[in-house]
Amino acid sequence: DTAVSQTPKYLVTQMGNDKSIKCEQNLGHDTMYWYKQDSKKFLKIMFSYNNKELIINETVPNRFSPKSPDKAHLNLHINSLELGDSAVYFCASSQAGGLAGDIEQYFGPGTRLTVT
């Protein structure tokens, strides 16, 4: 069973379009994340949700909107796509954060977004 899954794996689209990426985890984790990995491999946190509540919202254009319908799902919707949005987007989950510090993160397989 795949622990953290994402769809689609590849996404090619034109500038100006709107697209969504879906993420699901079956680990029973409380916290989910979205990362962007650019062409230089740098991993940058974008958003995090804990029990459906937004807890991390980094400096990301408001064209990006996360949505967590329940704690097993975290989707990412992107409006008006731009060339610079081309990257690999990873979803991740962890059991808990907080004082437990137990935030080992499990990553999904990634979605390679190409904007033309």
Instruction: Identify the residue among 64, 90, 93, 113 touching another protein (CB under 8 A).
Output: 90
Q: Would you say 44 or 82 has its CB closer to another protein? A: 44
Separation in Å, CA 1 to CA 5, 10, 108:
10, 21, 12
φ, ψ for residue 84, nearest 5 deg: -70, -5
Residues 62-81 vs another protein: string with x where CB under 8 A? --------------------
- Pick the piece of the chain touching another protein (CB under 8 A) from 12-20, 21-29, 63-71, 95-103: 95-103
Report the alpha-carbon distance of residue 20 to residue 92 in Å, rounded.
Answer: 16
